[in-house]
Copies of this chain bind each other. A is one copy, B any other.
Amino acid sequence: MIKVVAKQYIKDGSLEEFLPVAKALVEETNKKDEGCLKYEMYQDLSDPLVVTVIEEWESQEVLDKHMKAKHFTDAMPKIGALCEKSADINIYKKLF
């Protein structure tokens, strides 16, 4: 199992525009992407402009497929334009 944590920094004033794009990506991913165990979006309680996707994938292979899927490649430029800086992305394996 591969775990991904992608912390995104939304531009001030862009959250309202960001949320529907992000929601559609979460819904499409959960519906379409084989091997997706979990794909959820979270908002920081002390800074609402920090929005983080926490994902679980069966393997690196299905994660790679996801990153080539249309719903992902369509969403990324839109999300990128609404972000302050690039996301902090970590890809993890479970220790314990």
The answer to whether B93 and A43 have CB atoms under 8 Å apart is yes
Copies in the complex: 2
Interface of A is mostly: strand
User: CB-nearest residue of chain B relative to A92?
Assistant: B42
On chain B, the residues within 8 Å of A7 by CB distance are 5, 90
Chain A, interface residues (CB within 8 Å), range: 20 to 34
On chain B, the residues within 8 Å of A91 by CB distance are 44-46
A92 to B94, CA, bound (A): 20
The answer to whether A51 and B19 have CB atoms under 8 Å apart is no
The answer to whether A5 and B52 have CB atoms under 8 Å apart is yes
A33 interface residue per 8 A CB criterion? no
User: CB-nearest residue of chain B relative to A3?
Assistant: B42
